[in-house]
Amino acid sequence: MVNTIGTKNLVIGYDHHFGRNREGSFAELSDLSQVYNFDVEQIPEEDVNDIAVSSTKIRNALLTGDINTATDFLGYHYPLSGTVVHGKKIGNTIGFPTANILVEESYKLIPSHGVYAVDVKIEGDTNTYKGALNIGTRPTFDNGETSVEVFILKFNSNIYSKKITVLFKEKIRDEKKFNSVDELIVAMQKDIAFVTQL
**Range of lowest pLDDT (46-50, 86-90, 145-149, 181-185):** 46-50
CATH of the domain at 190: 2.40.30.30
Is residue 104 domain-shared with residue 190, that is, in the same domain?
yes
Domain extent, residue 23, equals 2-44
Closest C-alpha to 133, from 146, 107, 114, 157:
114
pLDDT at 21 over 80: no
Q: Is residue 54 part of a domain?
A: no
Question: From residue 77, how far is each of 6, 66, 73, 190 by CA, in Å?
Answer: 34, 12, 10, 23
| CB-count exposure of residue 168 (10 Å: 0-12, 13-18, 19+) | buried
Q: How far apart are CA 32 and CA 117, in angstroms?
A: 47
Q: How far apart are CA 35 and CA 158, in angstroms?
A: 57
- Angle at the Cα of 65 from the Cα atoms of 62 and 68, rounded to 5 degrees: 80
pLDDT in tens, 114-167: 999 999 999 999 999 999 999 998 888 877 788 999 999 999 899 999 999 999
Question: From residue 172, how far is each of 72, 87, 107, 121 by CA, in Å?
Answer: 18, 23, 25, 20
- Split at pLDDT 50, 70, 90, the class of 44 is low
| The overall pTM is greater than 0.85 | no
Question: Number of folded domains in the chain?
Answer: 2
Is residue 106 domain-shared with residue 187, that is, in the same domain?
yes
Q: Is residue 107 part of a domain?
A: yes
